[in-house]
Structure 1
């Protein structure tokens, strides 16, 4: 999942470049940017809390409330939280209309301020998913991940190969899609949003279960494979040929990074504990841990991997120390502040207009989207049934846990749109697939896990 390339790749080439040109000529007003960020955070937290509370009361995952709340305040409904990358302008944002009405800014300064404010919210969103993966790493047990490593690897590989092959071949032979766009759309089907699934697992206390560890391990490996697939298809679009050296570099660097950080981290863990014990100022454990997390996130991003992989690795390493319980308690308030920003922003970027069949240009996309949704779900659900040597495993839950595409699928769609390789109908179909899998997976995963627990309990009683 992650986010390199960041969610900022979701651009409307014409309008966004014009906006960037304007922003380059005129400086943003600092007070306006700050005011926009503050109002946006108020809206984000209200949407997150209201949506989460409603979902919790009707026995749905609260994370689904964050996503729905984001849709309501985003481009699809209220236009409170909108982004220039989607083609929106300052006049499209109700927040900036309010700021414009209460101030005296030129249109150029307002546009520059809107662009700067959106970038701040984007950064806070990416920090949110970094903190989320750090927290997940802390709560995961490295020994358990290693124990289920072979099963997780099989799930990840099948979860990439199966939907990619079915999607690409189906688009070519059923819909007559050209080869390169079909390959790109097939690649978008390989993504898995580890953040959404992990949040659901944590909410129902299944993160440390056998199924939870396999899902997390598989999602991390799936993320690495997704990076390689994205690099391959992006290279194919640009050059018309696959650069083998780039594939090898990404594959080797990903494996070396994860294994290397874990091995080095275990060696340095005693020094980390000793350093924390020696510091006398406020918050030594949290600050030192955040430094480790940001350092590994930067290294991962610098070698063209996902920053969240570095955060997850940092969580795994620090979760093995004697300070992990205390650290988990201190990270929770930070996660409560930043993680909702990530999920609400994902929802706010979701444009439900592509689901409107009354628009002629949407109809072809909806037909293709139906096919992609079926492939997206089946291609991931079957992964759970590849598990071997693990009796009493909820295989369906593992497959369902790999279904949501979330922001990762949007990254694929954004890269395809920016490159011009995707037609409007195919781009809309990918977005619809991302929307459906993102919103369907959380309640379905919860249902499958709870039913599995009930069946297991009934079997034990019998």
Structure 2
């Protein structure tokens, strides 16, 4: 995700991004010759993509809701249905695909006079813009999750969350790496990369499921969220270490220490400084008389913290989560929760549908000879991925009332975070085709397995956030 967000920041600062949003050119103008994308056609293709995304998310979510599954699972499945694995409507160039692989691009070509060269440029730009919107979606999601979290409860469960996070990183990494090296004779570097991919936890997927189940503010929910945040930090450090090992053949201790110290200073500093400045925030909002003052000031605060997190080589979602935690301590919390909900409804589905759309299920086809070795490796990685996270809940001692299985299950999904590890490993040339396929299959299964399993392990009836608030 680090690389994705860096690309996104580059896109936001590029000239064509501003041009296509503000271009006065008619919507279906002909694309210019050459590699430059026509801004109006980029906008047209993005609008078509959003229609597909929203339709897929609502259809999938409604179906899952009616069969008692988390709606977020429906959004993921809807993404798979419209993505590279099925209909090919929502396709992204980073997967090695071209405009001819996208039905949306073919429809655009039929309804305009765009040239093949111009179509490829539009396809590339459209993919980048939708990816930016997807990253904004997860940033807003984590801001909303921060608002719904209790900072005092997070601090209270901090030691337990830290134990869960550390065990959830060390256990699968060690089991995966050693198992691949000694059990499957995989070379050390790709084995380390695969082990590193096992350490990730997709906080966005788990947090959304917990919110849907009304369990976000429970002790189990807060431990899972706290551990997932720490997991992200530890995952960044592991990825940096492994990437350094591939590039230089040695581990750079200074970079590891920098990431650890910067992460600690950022999270603690953001929360302390935010609590100190929160009275000024409330006073500023109260004195403003124009429409949307609370929402815009709060979003700006979240984006500033996300920006700071990004430039110090952390993840932007950590900044938005910290912003939500800080603002949840103010008197504006409930009003802000109501205001951010429709914004979340617009952007968050883009993130989940895109995760599903980028998932290539063809790697599961056993009739393809190159997939068979990957399937065997994948089976091993899947077992390690599940066991390595499920055991984390049972490492918490002296808390008999906790649903420890739920905590472990909540840490299982790898989601887009695991795909980032696979992508970095593939780009570096460290992974063989079979190992890369095995990692992708592990990510796919853990991502889709966790939401329904999490619902099952919470035996009591789900309580909505509104019911929790009224009680």
Normalised by the shorter chain, which TM-score bucket?
Answer: over 0.9
- Residue from 108, 133, 141 that aligns with 2:117: 108
- Pairing 1:28-177 to 2, within 5 Å after superposition: 28-177=37-186
Partner residue, 1:334:
343
CA distance in 2, matches of 1:30, 1:350: 28
8 Å Cα contact 1:298-1:310 kept in structure 2: yes
Asked if 1:220 is matched to 2:218, the reply is: no
Measured after TM superposition, the shift of residue 25 of structure 1 is: 5.8
> What is the aligned counterpart of 2:279 among 264, 270, 281?
270
Instruction: Report deviation, 1:390.
Output: 2.0
2:2 corresponds to 1:4: yes
Q: Does the residue aligned with 2:2 lie in a helix, a strand or coil?
A: coil
Match of 1:254 in 2: 263
User: What secondary structure is seen at the aligned counterpart in 1 of 2:458?
Assistant: helix
CA contact (8 A) 1:187 1:233 kept: yes
- Maintained 8 Å contact 1:137/1:314: yes
Equivalent residue for 1:302, pick from 307, 311, 331 = 311
Distance 1:65 1:345 in 2: 13
Tell me whether 1:411 sits opposite 2:420 in the alignment: yes
What is the Cα deviation at residue 102 of structure 1? Answer: 1.1
Q: Distance in 2 between matches of 1:260 and 1:141?
A: 18
Question: What does residue 27 of structure 1 align with?
Answer: 36
Aligned residue number for residue 229 of structure 1: 238
Q: CA offset at residue 8 of structure 1?
A: 8.6
Contact 1:137–1:315, Cα closer than 8 Å, also in 2: yes
Q: 1:180 aligns with which of 181, 189, 194?
A: 189
Quote how far apart the aligned CAs of 1:415 are.
Answer: 0.4
1:367 correspondence with 2:376 = yes
Shift of 1:106: 1.5
Change (3 A) 1:33 1:414: same
Q: Which residue of 2 aligns with 1:292?
A: 301
Shift in alpha-carbon separation, 1:7–1:433, aligned structure 2, 3 A? farther
Q: Does 1:395 align with 2:404?
A: yes
Task: Report the CA distance between 1:242 and its aligned residue.
Answer: 0.3
> Contact 2:370/2:434 (CA < 8 Å) preserved in 1?
yes
Aligned length: 439
Cα shift readout 1:179-205 (whole Å, capped 9, x = no counterpart): 011001000000000010010100010
Alpha-carbon distance, 1:450 to partner: 2.5
Change in CA separation of 1:391 and 1:46 when aligned onto 2, cut-off 3 Å: same
Q: Give the TM-score normalised by structure 2.
A: 0.92
Alpha-carbon separation, structure 1, partners of 2:300 and 2:204: 21
Looking at structure 1, the residues matched to 50 and 385 of structure 2 have their Cα atoms a distance apart, in angstroms, of: 33
* Match status 1:204 vs 2:202: no
Give, in whole Å, the separation in 1 of the partners of 2:429 and 2:455: 38
* Contact 1:7–1:407 (CA under 8 A) maintained in structure 2: no
Cα distance in 2, alignment partners of residues 142 and 155 from structure 1: 18
| Aligned CA distance change for structure 1 residues 264 and 428 (closer, same or farther; 3 Å) | same
1:7 and 1:410 in contact (8 A); partners too: no
Distance 2:6 2:233 in 1: 20
CA distance in 2, matches of 1:8, 1:53: 34
Q: Find the aligned partners of 2:43 and 2:417 in 1 and give their Cα distance.
A: 29
How far apart, in 1, do the equivalents of 2:143 and 2:104 lie? 32
1:343-382 correspondence runs (5 A): 343-382=352-391
Does the aligned pair in 2 maintain the 1:7–1:411 contact within 8 Å?
Answer: no
Computed over aligned residues only, the root mean square deviation of the Cα atoms, in angstroms, reads 1.5
Distance in 2, matches of 1:30 and 1:163, equals 46
Residue 25 and residue 225 in structure 1: after superposition, are their counterparts in 2 closer, same or farther (change >3 A)?
Answer: farther
Q: Which has the higher contact order (CA 8 A, sep 6+)?
A: 1
Q: CA deviation at 1:236?
A: 0.4
Partner Cα separation in structure 2 for residue 325 and residue 284 of structure 1: 15
Equivalent residue number for residue 467 of structure 2 = none
Pair 452,237 (structure 1): closer, same or farther in 2 beyond 3 Å: farther
Q: Deviations over 1:260-307 (max 9, x none)?
A: 000000100000000001111111100000110000000000000000
Q: 1:8 to 1:170 in 2, by over 3 A?
A: farther
How has the CA–CA distance of structure 1 residues 7 and 378 changed in structure 2, closer, same or farther, with 3 Å as cutoff? Answer: farther
Per-residue CA distance 1:340-367 (angstroms, 9 max, x = gap): 0000000000000000000000000000
Question: What is the alpha-carbon distance in structure 1 between the residues aligned to residue 384 and residue 101 of structure 2?
Answer: 35
How far is 1:85 from its partner? Answer: 0.1
